[in-house]
Amino acid sequence: MIETSFAALPLAEPIQRALIEKGYLHMSPIQAQAIPVLLENRDLLACAQTGTGKTAAFALPVLNRLAQKTKPLGREEVLNLILTPTRELAVQVAESFSTYGKFMKISVGLVHGGVSPLPQIRMLQKGLDVLVATPGRLLDLYNQGHLSLASVQCLVLDEADRMLDMGFIHDIRKITKILPFNRQNLLFSATMNPEITKLTATILRNPVEIRVTPEVTTATKVTQSIHFVNRESKLPLLLKLVKRQTATRNGDLSLVFSRTKHGANKLAAQLNKAGIQADAIHGNKSQSARQHALNRFKAGSTPVLVATDVAARGIDVRNITLVVNYDMPVEPESYVHRIGRTARAEASGRAVSFCSNEELDLLRSVERFIKQSVPVDTHHEHHDEVVAERHHQKNLGHNSHRSGNAPTSRPAPKGKVIATKRNRKRPSMLSRSI
């Protein structure tokens, strides 16, 4: 049985005191698995969503090593480097280090774009125990000679998949080449795609792998439906849904998910061509371009936003009443996060998913993950009964193989939606975690 008590960890007294002051008693699953590994100075590859306590999972071991430090910091020297994709996340991570290291004499610095570099340069000149940075600004200051990375003992890549989606892969490679070879490497990612696998192979050395499955709860006020269509019918069906939304609802917004950056651009262009104002948001766009698109979307001047999964993280807009999964997500966890963009702040919303023949396995993965069937909507002219029947047969074979009994589900009759029971939220086993 994995120990979940912070008090049982061999952490330095000042860190334990800070945890007690905050009232933190028990570790979350990612903390319970990661912290003992990191205290042994092992490299780590962790798949964990935001909100699982992953910041403390890497911050506490880093602080524990700093508690044993005897050598004073050198000028412009950095001992621990944490890379994040956005300045918002960088600020949160830096605040966490300051909170957990409250009773320690450590220096925590923050480097990101969008602000004047002069205060950051003055801060770097004194040397830092912990530097939290976004890749672009860090490289700029390094190339100008304002900091040294020759003493880095630990590198943390936080939300690595998001960094890759935002186009930081080349910056990350440049940074890792600068760092000393003998260092500890930690990589945290919400998804494990082929790009992440390639990155880990070049950075991590014999890492311990941890995967923490988040608690699966689909928003209770979201009306979900699946539309079985062929690929050619997706665009006309999307246009009808969005036109109906913009014509009948006042100020309500639509968020459309595309699997690829190119697909997001193409969809936004097709929507604009059809007379529907739309923007695309993804990792190949600059931060300022993404922010401008998001501001227009929030203001309602652009009622439709087309986004990739990672670029859409952190979108919290109250008036989103329609989410369309134009492409089924490759990672089933993404489905929960996608549809969670609607029905915010006690409002209600709709989540419509398009599923073609090529995406049936992705739909099955989603339904297994959320432990429920997504209601099928056949009340549209683009319904593909062949695809629907294939999905039914796949489920028939899966359920029969698993239970030995014939399934009770049947294909949806024309013009009706199959109702399903909502997934019940499981109670937490932790009295309180970070």
**Could you report the per-residue pLDDT of 76-107, keeping only the tens digit for each?**
999 999 999 988 889 889 999 999 999 999 99
Residue 209's DSSP bridge partners are 45
Residue 160, domain member (yes or no) = yes
Residue 386, domain member (yes or no) = yes
Better-predicted residue by pLDDT, 61 or 369: 61
| CA dihedral angle for residue 279, residue 281, residue 287, residue 288, rounded to 10 degrees | 0
d(CA 362, CA 368): 10
d(CA 198, CA 188): 14
Same domain, 320 and 395: yes
d(CA 369, CA 145): 49
Where b means 16+ CB within 10 Å and e means fewer, 390-409 reads: ebbeebeeeeeeeeeeeeee
Residue 214 · residue 49 · CB < 8 Å: yes
The alpha-helical segments, DSSP class H, found in 145-254 are 160-165, 169-178, 194-203, 234-248
Same domain, 250 and 389: yes
pLDDT band at 392 (very low <50, low <70, confident <90, very high): confident
Mean pLDDT of the chain: 85
Residue 217, domain member (yes or no) = no
Question: What's the pLDDT score for residue 399?
Answer: 53
Residue 430, domain member (yes or no) = no
Nearest to 45, CA basis, from 159, 266, 207: 207
Number of C-beta neighbours around residue 220 at 10 A: 11
| Residue carrying structure tokens 């001047």 | 301
**Could you report the per-residue pLDDT of 151-181, keeping only the tens digit for each?**
999 999 999 988 887 889 999 999 999 999 9
Residue 47's DSSP bridge partners are 189, 211
HSE value, Cβ hemisphere, 13 Å, CA-based, for 266: 8
Rounded to 10 deg, the angle between the 118-125 and 135-143 helix axes is: 70
The model's pTM is 0.62
Question: What's the pLDDT score for residue 227?
Answer: 97
| Residue carrying structure tokens 């880990």 | 200
Residue 6: is its pLDDT beyond 60?
A: yes
Q: How many domains is the chain partitioned into structurally?
A: 2
Q: What is the domain extent for residue 55? A: 6-211
Residue 378, domain member (yes or no) = yes
Same domain, 186 and 228: no
pLDDT band at 247 (very low <50, low <70, confident <90, very high): confident
* Of 189, 211, 233, the domain-final residue: 211
Same domain, 226 and 201: no
